[in-house]
Amino acid sequence: MRNRRILILGGTHEARDLAGVLLAAGFEVISSLAGVTEHPVLPEGTVRRGGFGGVEGLSDYLVAERIAAIADATHPFAAQMSGHAVQAARTAGIPCLRLERPPWVSGAGDRWICVSSVAEAVASVPARTRPMVTAGRKEIGLFLARADVAGLARMIELPDFGVPGNWTVLLQRGPFTLAGETALMTQYAISHLVTKNAGGDDTSAKLAAARGLGLPVIMIARPAKPPVPSFARACELAAHLGELLSP
């Protein structure tokens, strides 16, 4: 029987779904989490936590653990991990596939201001406004440094530095509803929404809420990732892996 041991690079709900789909399809699965979230929602099956130590560390891990393929299901903004995955898979001589949700696209009624980086998004928020920023601990510090706005920052876990008095932090994990997002933006008299183009349904209600309230959305484009065979659905990736690793 051919080795069917898959390393899933996770940290997303798609990665958790993928672990279940691959296990059900008879693959052996190890899910890897970066270890940045203190209380992560865990996938089914074996889980490891923490960085690998760059491309070299990951290449060594792939060989030591006899990994047959990498399934990169990291967040669309986790560009470094995806880049390392491609390089390490090449070194180890195994396939690297990607599971990636499609990006959000603007439609009628949307007022998107598209920017290409977090720094550009920070600079795009006008002074004396009330932005709602949905970002992780990694990026939020840049926004919190803006002393000239009264902002609402929503994230999953508190940053490990102080929050200035002109910012309110809300700790919440999706999924969110249109009614809830509209009520939140109204309650805090939000003037702008700032978000990364994460894609997916769990957190898209904020876009519909902003549209309904006529608010501008500062939309941060995804970073580029090296091209590999990519799939929007776990079952498609599983089917492709099944073909690649058939006996």
Binding site for ligand NAP (CB under 6 A): 9-12, 32-34, 36, 51-54, 57-58, 74-75, 77-81, 84, 136, 138, 196
**Is the omega angle on the peptide bond into residue 103 within 30 degrees of 0, that is, cis?**
no
**Measured from the CB atom, is 51 or 141 closer to ligand NAP?**
51
Nearest-approach distance from CB 198 to ligand NAP, in angstroms: 7
**Measured from the CB atom, is 147 or 158 closer to ligand NAP?**
158
The residues, ordered by sequence, that sit 6+ positions from 92 with a Cβ below 8 Å of its Cβ are 59, 62, 63, 67
Nearest-approach distance from CB 157 to ligand NAP, in angstroms: 11
Nearest to 133 by CA among 206, 183, 214, 77: 206
* The token pair that represents 231 in the structure block: 């799939």
**Measured from the CB atom, is 135 or 191 closer to ligand NAP?**
135
> Strands 28-33, 5-9: parallel, antiparallel or unpaired by DSSP?
parallel
Nearest-approach distance from CB 139 to ligand NAP, in angstroms: 7
H helices present in 52-177, as ranges:
54-64, 79-92, 118-124, 137-144
Nearest-approach distance from CB 146 to ligand NAP, in angstroms: 19
**Measured from the CB atom, is 30 or 150 closer to ligand NAP?**
30
CA-based Rg of the chain, rounded to a whole angstrom? 20
Question: Contact 122/146 with Cβ under 8 angstroms?
Answer: yes
Nearest-approach distance from CB 213 to ligand NAP, in angstroms: 24
Nearest-approach distance from CB 150 to ligand NAP, in angstroms: 24
* Cβ-based burial of 114 (10 A; exposed 0-12, middle 13-18, buried ≥19): middle
Tell me which residue has its CB nearest to ligand NAP.
51
